[in-house]
Chains A and B, each alone.
Chain A
Amino acid sequence: AQKVTQAQTEISVVEKEDVTLDCVYETRDTTYYLFWYKQPPSGELVFLIRRNSFDEQNEISGRYSWNFQKSTSSFNFTITASQVVDSAVYFCALRGYSTLTFGKGTMLLVSP
């Protein structure tokens, strides 16, 4: 069975602070994919990144960066210089063959 744990339920920061969202996963699959999605108040899930289990390179996209560590089964997400528009619920997800398993999400509140 697959499992994704996002231990942080809610994080509050002030604009321009850096913030890291944690994600720990469990799977028996040797090939799997990890995802991060953003869900603004409107409800639609917005895809942010996909990582396969063979690619442990960290990735940076603008203010976003992701740290994948297979040894600790973690796929953490950092937002640098946070902005109010970053306020949303962020979900980490894991996919083996076909089914996406989501974590419970971390609500990020960025205040001005």
Chain B
Amino acid sequence: DAGVTQSPTHLIKTRGQHVTLRCSPISGHKSVSWYQQVLGQGPQFIFQYYEKEERGRGNFPDRFSARQFPNYSSELNVNALLLGDSALYLCASSQVGTGGNDEQYFGPGTRLTVT
């Protein structure tokens, strides 16, 4: 079975632009979470979606938004890009999204560079 896939792998944008990152969860998983990992730091939680509904949101500005589609894939959108948005964006999928036994599987990430 395929793991979590993310596209694109790398992306270069300029300040002020908009970006859309995509994630396809493992087959059968209904929850997707997004994390931002700035260089030298641990991943920080951005959003979690389950069954197309937002279940949780981290401490990120409104420039960040996401959605989940009927096939459980997800998009993360970032508007008005800032230099500080440069990071590795990780997507994780899990079956139901709650409880510690609900293991999160991470994708390879999208590396976003804002110039």
Contact = CB atoms under 8 A, between A and B. Distances in A.
A64 interface: no
Interface in A62-112: 91, 93, 95, 97-105
Contacts of B98: 97-98
Interface residues of A, number: 24
A32 B42 contact: no
A42 B108 contact: yes
A105 B88 contact: no
Nearest to A53: B100
B108 A44 contact: yes
Nearest to B55: A98
B113 interface: no
Contact of A98 (B41, B97, B105, B111): B97
- The residue among A50, A91, A97, A99 with the most chain B CB atoms within 10 A of its own CB is A99
Nearest to A31: B100
Contact of B108 (A43, A104, A105): A43
Contacts of B107: 44
B41 A104 contact: yes
